[in-house]
Amino acid sequence: MTEPVKNTLLFAIVGGLILLTGFTQSWNTAILILNMGLISAIMAIGVNLQWGFAGLFNVGVMGFVALGGLAVVLVSTPPTPGAWSAGGYGIVLALLLGAATVVAAVLVATRMPKGRAQTLAIIAILIVGFFVYRAVFDPSIAAVEAIDPAIAGNIGGLNLPVLLAWPAGGLLAAGAAWLIGKTALGLRSDYLAIATLGIAEIIIAVMKNEDWLARGVKNVYGIPRPAPVVGYEVDLQQDPGFIARADWLGLDPVTASTLSVKLGYSLLFMVVLLALLWMAQMALRSPWGRMMRAIRDNEVAAEAMGKDVTRRHLQIFVLGSAICGIAGAMMTTLDGQLTPSAYQPLRFTFLVWVMVIVGGSGNNFGAVLGAFLIWFLWVQVEPIGLWLMNLITTGMPDGSALKSHLIDSAAHMRLFTMGLILLLVLRFSPRGLIPEK
Amino acid sequence: MDFLNALVALSNFVLVPAIAYGSQLALGALGVTLIYGILRFSNFAHGDTMAFGAMIAVLVTWGLQAAGVSFGPLPTALLALPFAILGCIVLVLITDRLVYRFYREQKAKPVILVIVSMGVMFIMNGLVRFIIGPDDQRFSDGARFIVSARDFKAMTGLREGLAIKTSQGITVIVAVVAVALLFWFLNKTRTGKSMRAYSDNEDLALLSGINPERVVMITWIIVAALATTAGVLYGLDKSFKPFVYFQLLLPIFASAIVGGLGSPLGAIAGGFIIAFSEVTITYAWKKVLTYLAPEGLEPSGLVQFLSTDYKFAVSFVILLIVLLFKPTGLFKGKAV
C-alpha cells in the first residue's frame, strides 16, 4: 500500500467512526465530536510545530488555550457600563506601572556594573514599584468589581465581532509566549517543561482570581456567536424557509436548528483548520522548515552553520503558542461561555500531547489525524467503559458493593485508556500513525 | 511592641505550617532527584505515584479502623504505611519492568522518557480515580493536636495561641527518620555507594562491575517508599484528593531543581526554601506586624503580598530566578 493511500484510509476510518456515532447514537453527538476534533486538530498543529519541527517541550498548552478564551471575552462582550470610568483606567495605569518597574529592574540588572550597589538598586526598585503598583491597583479593581457583581463586576470587552477575537486570541497567546520564551527558552528541555507547566498554572490562577478581568470563577456567559454564519436556534425555528427545508429532510425544526447551528461552526472551524494546515505544510517544506528540523536534530551543528538557535526557537515557540491561542478562542466561542475552572492540565495539555504523539510528531497530517482519533476516543471511552463494566458485572448479584463501584468508576477509564494508548504507540510505533517523511 | 506575642503568632501561622509543608516537599523532591540521578529523566508521574501510595494507605487505614485496630493517640495511617509502601513498590517495579526498561535498553533520549512518564502519569491517575474516586477522603484519626491553641494560651498566659497538629509533628519526625535512613544508606552501605557511583559516572560504574538493573531496582524501591511517605503525610496534614497530588508536581519539581537535580541534600534544602517562600509570601502579615509596630503605626491593610491562590507563582518565580542565575541549582546538580 502506498503512503497516500494508507493515509487517506486512516482519515477515512476516523471519519467513518464519527459517522458511525451519528448513525448509532445521535447526530448531535457526532457533530460535537467533529467540532471539538477540529479545534483539537488546530491545537495539535500548534504543538506539532513546537515539538515536531523544533523539538521544544512545551507542557503549558493549557495556558495558551485559556488566554485565547480570555481574548474572546475581552474582544467580543459589551463593555460594562461605568467600569472604565470607575477603575478601568486606573487598572491600565497600574499595569503600566508594574511593567515599568520590571523594565527598570531589568535595565539596572543589565546596564549597571555588578556589585552591591546594583543588587540594592534592583531590590529598591522592585519594592517601591510593588507598593506603588498595589496602591493604584487595589482601589481600581475594588471599584470595578463593585459594579453590579451579580451579573458584571468586570471591565467587559470591546463589543467587536467575535470572529475578530480569534486572531486576537492568537496575538494574546503569542505575547505571553514571547515573554515566557525570552526567559525560559535558554533552558534545557526538562527545565523548559517544568517552566511551561508552571506558567500554565499561573495563567489559570490569574483568570480564576482576577474578577475584574473576566469575572473569575463566576464565569462569563452569553458570549456572542459569529451570527451570520451560525445563527441562533430560535431565529431558525421561526424561519418558514428553514422549516420547509427541515421538513424536506424529515427532521423536526428544533433538532434541525441545533444541527444547523453546529454545522455552521464546523464550517468555520474547517476553514481555519485548512488555512492553518496549509500554512504549516508550506512552512514545513520551506527552507525555514528544513532549518528548524536541522536545529532539532543537531543544535550544535546548526549553530556552527550560522543559525541563531535561540531566536529560531523563540520564533517557533511564539508561532505554535499563537495557534493554540486561536484554538482556545474558537473553543470558548463554541461553548458560548468562559469557565476558568474547566481548564485542567490533563485535558488541555497532556491530551494534546497524546494526539500529536499518536498521530505522528513532525507530520502535520499526522497531528490532525491524531487529534480527531484521540478526541473521538476521549468522548467514546466513557460509554464503551460503561458497557464493558456492565458486561463484566452481569454475573454479580444486584446491589453488591463491588458491582456498583465498578459501574460508577467506568467514567474514570478515560485517563487510563489514554495513558495506555500513549504507551503502546510509543513502544510499538514510536513515530506515530503517519510518520514524519 | 509585643515581641513575644509576635513570635508566637509567627510560629503558629508561618513557621510550623512551613516546616511541615517543607518536609513533605523535601520527601517528594528526594524521589524526583533520585530518579533524575539514576535513571536520568524528570518523572512526571511522581505526583501520581504519591497519590497511589497514599491511596493504599487510606484503604488499609479504613480496613484497620473497621477491624477496630487503632494506634492510640497516633493516626492509624502510620500502621498502614508499611503496607502502602509495599503496594507502591510493587506498582513501580511492575511499571519499570513493563515500561521503562525497554527504553533503558534502547538508550532512548531523556526527553522520550519524560513523554513515557506522561503516559504512566495518565495510567496511575486513572487507576487511583478508578479505585478510590476523585473526591476528598479523610483518613486521619487519633489526637488532633499535640498542643492546642487554648492549652498554649492557658499555659503561657499570652494573647496568641500556638497550635501544633499531630499530623505536623508526625510529618517532621517521620521526615527526619526517613532522610536519616536514606543518607545512612547512600553513604554507608555498599549498595548505596554503588548507587552514588552509578549516578556520578555510569560507564565507570559499569566497568567496576556494578549491576545496573539492581541499582535501578533499588532506586525504584526507595523512590516508592519516599513517595508513599510523602503522600501519606501530606494527606494526613491536609486531606487525600487525587488531583491535589498532581498539582504538587510543580512545587516538588521546583524544590528539586532549586536544590540541584540529582543532589539529595539540595532536594531537602529546596523543599524548605519553596515551602517557606510560599507560606511567607501568601501570609497576611497584619497580625505579626501589629504586635511589632510601635504604638499608632499599625498597618491598616492585610499586608499580604499575594493571595494564597497564587502560591504556584511563588514556586515558579523562585524556580526561574535560580535557573537564570545558577542553572545547576544551589547544590550543584547535574545537567544532561
Q: What is the DSSP letter of B137?
A: B
Assign A216 a pLDDT band (cuts: 50, 70, 90): confident
Q: How far is CA A101 from the centre of its chain?
A: 31
If you write DSSP's letter for every residue of A293-349 in order, what string do you get? HHHHH-HHHHHHTT--HHHHHHHHHHHHHHHHHHHHHHHHHHHTSB-GGG--HIIII
Q: Are residues A113 and A46 in the same domain?
A: no
Whole-number pLDDT of residue B1: 60
CB contact under 8 A, B110 and A190: yes
Mean pLDDT across chain A, nearest whole number? 89
Q: Count Cα atoms within 13 angstroms, Cβ side, for B278.
A: 28
The answer on A371 and A230 residing in a single domain is yes
User: CA of B125 to nearest chain A CA: how many angstroms apart?
Assistant: 7
Least confident of A85-89, A174-178, B125-129, B306-310: B306-310
| Helix and strand counts by DSSP (H, E) for chain A | 21, 0
B236-293 tens-digit pLDDT: 988 899 888 988 998 999 999 898 888 889 999 999 999 999 999 888 888 888 888 7
Nearest 5 degrees, angle CA A351-CA B47-CA B55? 110
Q: Assess whether A8 and A144 both reside in one domain.
A: no
Is B335 domain-assigned?
no
Let me know if B333 is exposed, middle or buried by CB neighbors in 10 A (0-12, 13-18, 19+): buried
Query: Are B42 and A197 an interchain contact pair (Cβ–Cβ within 8 Å)?
Result: no
- The band of A98, judged by pLDDT with boundaries at 50, 70 and 90, is very high
| Cβ <8 Å between B42 and A194 | yes
Rounded distance, CA A363 to CA A49, Å?
A: 9
Please indicate, yes or no, whether residues A366 and A424 belong to a single structural domain of this protein. yes
Distance, in Å, from the CA atom of B119 to the CA atom of B224, rounded to the nearest integer, reads 18
Q: Is residue A433 part of a domain?
A: no
Q: Do B122 and A422 touch (CB under 8 A)?
A: yes
Residues sharing a CB contact under 8 Å with residue B59, sequence separation 6 or more, in sequence order: B131, B132
Residues A220 and A286 in one domain: yes
Most trustworthy range by pLDDT among A269-273, A345-349, B306-310: A269-273
Q: What is the pLDDT of residues A362-421, one digit of tens each?
A: 899 999 999 999 999 999 998 888 888 888 888 777 777 788 888 878 778 888 999 999
In the stretch 317-356 of chain A, residues with CB closer than 8 A to chain B read 345-346, 350, 353-354
Domain at A11, CATH number: 1.10.3470
Question: Grid cell 484497620 — which residue?
Answer: B64
Same domain, A138 and A171: no
Q: Is A191 close to B114, i.e. CB distance below 8 A?
A: no
Of the residues A111, A129, A154, the one at which a domain ends: A154
Are residues A311 and A217 part of one domain?
yes
- DSSP single-letter state for residue B328: T
With beta carbons less than 8 A apart as the criterion, state whether A42 and A328 touch: no
The answer to whether residues A236 and A103 belong to one domain is: no
Which residue in A363, A270, A359, A386 sits closest to A14, CA to CA? A359
Report the pLDDT value the prediction gives residue B336, as an integer from 0 to 100: 45
- Report whether pLDDT(A46) > 50: yes
Q: How far is CA B308 from CA B237, B244, B279, B283, B312, in A?
A: 18, 15, 8, 8, 9
Q: Report pLDDT for B269.
A: 93
Q: Ramachandran region of residue B226, left (φ > 0), alpha (ψ -120 to 50) or beta? A: alpha
Asked if A418's CB is within 8 angstroms of B115's CB, the reply is no
CB neighbour list of residue B91: distance below 8 Å, 6 or more residues apart? B49, B52, B124, B224
Q: How far is CA B309 from CA A155, A202, A400, B274, B305, in A?
A: 22, 9, 42, 15, 12
Asked if A416's CB is within 8 angstroms of B127's CB, the reply is yes
Last residue of a domain, one of A128, A154, A180: A154
Residue with the three cell numbers 478562542: A329
Q: Is B330 contained in some domain?
A: no
Domain assignment present for residue A351? The answer is yes
Strand partners, A220: A338
Cβ contacts (< 8 Å) between A205 and chain B: which residues?
309-310, 312-313
Q: Distance between CA atoms of A371 and A365, rounded to whole angstroms?
A: 10
**Digit-coded pLDDT (tens) for B286-301:** 888 888 877 777 777 7
**Average pLDDT for residues B169-190, to the nearest whole number?**
93
- The confidence score (pLDDT) of residue B308 equals 79
Give the pLDDT confidence of B11-45 residue by residue, as tens digits.
Answer: 888 999 999 999 999 999 999 999 998 998 999 99
pLDDT at B333 over 70: no
> For B39-84, what is each residue's pLDDT tens digit?
989 999 999 999 999 999 999 999 999 988 888 888 889 999 999 9
State whether A138 and A7 are in the same domain. no
Q: The C-alpha cell of A66 is what?
A: 485559556
- The answer to whether the Cβ–Cβ distance between B125 and A197 falls below 8 Å is no
Whether residue A434 lies inside any domain: the answer is: no
Q: Which of B118, B253, B312 is facing A205, going by the closest CB pair?
A: B312
Say which residue, B302 or B8, is predicted with more confidence. Answer: B8
pLDDT digits (tens, 9 = 90+) for B183-196: 999 999 999 999 99
The residues near A350 (Cβ < 8 Å, ≥ 6 apart) are A59, B118, B121, B122
CA distance A409 to chain B (A): 5
* Residue B334 domain flag: no
What is the ipTM score, two decimals?
0.90
What is the Cα gyration radius of chain B?
Answer: 21
State whether A423 and B310 contact (CB < 8 Å): no
Q: What is the DSSP letter of A113?
A: P
Find which of A138, A191, A199, A296 to mutate to test the B interface (most B CBs within 10 Å of its CB): A191
Give domain status of residue B331, yes or no. no
pLDDT of residue B222: 96
Our count of domains for chain A comes to 2
pLDDT at B184: 95
Give me the total of CB pairs closer than 8 Å, taking one residue from chain A and one from chain B. 129
In this structure, the answer to whether residues A260 and A376 fall within a common structural domain is: yes
First to last CA, chain B: 53
Both A115 and A189 in a single domain?
no
Residue B332 lies in a domain: no
Of residues B114, B123, B134, nearest to A416 (C-beta): B123
Q: How confident is the model at residue B335 (pLDDT cuts 50, 70, 90)?
A: low
User: pTM to 2 decimals?
Assistant: 0.91
Q: What is the largest CA-CA distance in chain B?
A: 72
Whether A316 maps to a domain, the answer reads yes
Residue B167 lies in a domain: yes
Give CA angle at B240 (B228, A339), nearest 5°: 125
SS3 B87: helix
A119 lies in the same domain as A218: no
What is the C-alpha to C-alpha distance for residues B320 and A333, in angstroms, rounded to an integer?
A: 34
- Give the structural domain span for B222: 3-325
**Cβ contacts (< 8 Å) between B114 and chain A: which residues?**
57, 189-190, 193
A84 touches chain B (CB under 8 A): no
A63-72, A380-389, B213-222: range with lowest mean pLDDT? A380-389
Question: What domain count does chain B have?
Answer: 1
CA dihedral A278, A284, A288, A293 (to 10 degrees): 160
Q: Which amino acid is at B195?
A: M
The Cα B135–Cα B217 span in angstroms is: 33
Alpha-carbon gap, residue B295 to B308, rounded angstroms: 29
- pLDDT (mean) for A135-145: 87
- Interval B136-162: pLDDT, tens: 888 888 888 888 888 888 888 888 888
Min distance B294 CA to chain A CA atoms (Å): 21
Distances (CA, A) of B70 to A259, B73, B240: 60, 8, 20
Phi and psi of A362, rounded to 5°?
Answer: 95, -10
Domain hosting A140: range is 80-154
Whether B336 is covered by a domain: the verdict is no
- CA dist A432 and A409 (Å) reads 30
Last residue of a domain, one of A114, A136, A154: A154
**CATH code (residue B196):** 1.10.3470
